[in-house]
Structure 1
């Protein structure tokens, strides 16, 4: 069947998301970095108040209500905000708008694997530059590569580290193309790069409501950049890419900062507890500014532990690739979920399972 597809599509592998349990099965799901707490009660109420008229009509083409809410919450002009069907859609729009077939998409690795997939879809060349020791940004190599688009996830997945703003600033000033700072996990971090959007016209910051706001099922993300950048992206995005339900719920959710911040603080406390417990079992665990941990088992037997936990109804993430095949990425769950995970690890490390 491959004869029906463009050569680059036929040759590439599909993006593999975190495993989803089958309906009706009981799993502790700690593999997709979902927030373990429910969305804001105000957001749930907004869902219940969706009218038939809102469903009958096309939604706002630019999600204006949500853009206005972002403007108020983050202190950026409304016309500096673009909204997408999840931040993944905005990443796709950026590649399609800014990278010609055969052009270069550049990023440090390991990082979010969708960057590579999107480059392949476009028929672009992807340049993967390994992170340095302790995930030091390979600044000189990224600058030398001069990508049409350069992606930096900060905080990064799967490592959980934040790239200091001074390095991002230097990178932005020396790139001829677009610098995309993917801040999907920024709600759990101690710093962000929003100021760089005001300093540089080639910087775009991307965020999502999937993590901090517990709305992964809603599929809504947004980006902040100079309006001249957004004008080009609007030529590529679908006409009505954000549905009326998503816009209504997201608008209320992002305004409820007190609720979001309270959930984030609970996750940070649980993250610290879980890290300490794993280290007590002999794991090497990276400090994280996200809602997950990257942990190396004492025997390096990550694949075995992943499979054994799955048998016990606990899903975590294992990446069979260089730099990661001896590690596990573990989403921070509720206190009860974290305790069950640690108990299962303890049994496995003691050889009792």
Structure 2
């Protein structure tokens, strides 16, 4: 009989609750303990995982004996201290939400963790596992070798979070870090190379301008472009707009090579799709060869149970399948390493710097 794997969760706001829902779909798992300091979020988490012990600190969580692994889904700026506390007190296999860090000075602390941590650390990059994006990645060979990659996300504004922490760059690392590290991770994965040069343009044109928190107006971007040159000669572009929730598809990814183009079309969360428009759009992958010409479309439907368990097109479940196999010793390494997480934030921080200075940023 397969042994039950016991999880501890740190942070159970919107994303933490999505993790709870998806862990519950996996056989042989149990959420043993939760640390969530906000009373409202803690009550919601307890309803999802009624058997979990609610604790008052990270130290209290780590004192729970029957833990096999941990998930960190706290606000961005808390991740590094919590990772270091876990490393010092009780290292366990760890799934940590993106972005891995927000302060450039914390990269060195994480590199020390990477060197000394005795268990695997998996950085949560859910977009890799969205079924249409996974299908695009699987079909990249049809391009004959990707030379150009375009990622467009046209979506809704930032949602409200506990204490409105996500309204300020000092907590998020900036929109190109908070929102876009997923896409920088995809760029490195799809192009098989590291970035060498980043330029960016963007601003805050529409969202959050009439909001005030303790006398402060939010300073996060709501739109922008980022251009990235890679060491192997390929290049990628990101287009972000966070006041375009009327779009049919939220993400549109296009990878083009000498033989063909392959695209993935990903709808946004079903709960935001207007009822009067009927059923939400189905994800698609489209392959457009140069010879013979003619696009070939394929629907990539997602299990309704997985759609109901979160806002990420079923990807959180597939990510947890992989992490559970890692914890059980059924696979040797995480899909998304600490180094991958470090790179995705470095790229986001470089884009923020390029935007602020108006100059290209070179990465080594």
Q: TM-score range by the shorter chain?
A: 0.3 to 0.5
| Larger helix fraction of residues | 1
| Larger strand fraction of residues | 2
